[in-house]
Amino acid sequence: MSTTTPVITEDTARHVLWHYGRPGGMQPGSYTERLMEAIDAADMVNAEKLRGAYPELVSAMLAAKNDLDGIDCLQQIADAA
């Protein structure tokens, strides 16, 4: 198992911000939108399973949901473009 944190791209940051209704967000396509709903609804066991296929998106979603500065960090990434 890899312990490295995936790099979160500007697009992923914007999509996650949109999901949580935060400034700087951008609506993704319908597949990504539904995937984010699944990640948001998942318990930690299932979120980790999804991380295997979508490491960047799961990392960004969990940061936004659980980290005190998660939204701020995503906004900084989104503004970097």
Residues in the chain: 81
Instruction: Round to whole Å and give the CA distance between 30 and 34.
Output: 6
**CB burial of residue 55 (10 Å; 0-12, 13-18, 19+):** middle
Domain boundaries, the chain: 10-79
Enclosing H/E stretch for 46:
helix 44-53
Question: In tens digits, what is the pLDDT along the chain, a chain of 81 residues?
Answer: 455 678 999 999 999 999 999 999 999 999 999 999 999 999 999 999 999 999 999 999 999 999 999 999 999 999 985
